[in-house]
Amino acid sequence: NAGVMQNPRHLVRRRGQEARLRCSPMKGHSHVYWYRQLPEEGLKFMVYLQKENIIDESGMPKERFSAEFPKEGPSILRIQQVVRGDSAAYFCASSPYSANYNSPLHFGNGTRLTVT
């Protein structure tokens, strides 16, 4: 049973380019969460999605960041016009239960974004 799959594992972008991070949840999970981990920091919540719906985006920066979880395919976290401050590890997690943050979240291995 495959876990949460994130790709790419490492992503290097120049300032101004776009970054697209992908997350496939565990089989049977229809709830996806994105977290960002800055160097030497804990994880900060960004957004919670169900299929075709954004449930909570209270942690998303107001500009340049967007997320989707289409009916088919992986969840995508998109960062437009990246800046050096976007360099971080981005983790995706999934859970099988509806609107329940108390489920143990199963995390992917993360995507490490480096902006040069």
Partner 1 sequence: AQKVTQAQTEISVVEKEDVTLDCVYETRDTTYYLFWYKQPPSGELVFLIRRNSFDEQNEISGRYSWNFQKSTSSFNFTITASQVVDSAVYFCALSGLSGNTPLVFGKGTRLSVIA
Q: Which residues bind partner 1 (CB under 8 A)?
A: 33, 35, 40-45, 48, 55-56, 58-59, 89, 91, 93, 99-102, 104-110, 112
* Closer residue to partner 1 (CB): 14 or 28: 28
Backbone φ and ψ of 17, nearest 5°: -80, 175
E strand or H helix at 66, and its extent?
strand 65-68
Please answer whether residues 60 and 46 qualify as being in contact, where contact means their C-beta atoms are separated by less than 8 angstroms.
Answer: yes
Distance in Å, CB of 72 to partner 1, minimum: 26
Residue closer to partner 1 by CB (options 68, 107) is 107
β 111-115/31-37 pair status: unpaired
Least distance in Å: CB of 81 to partner 1? 26
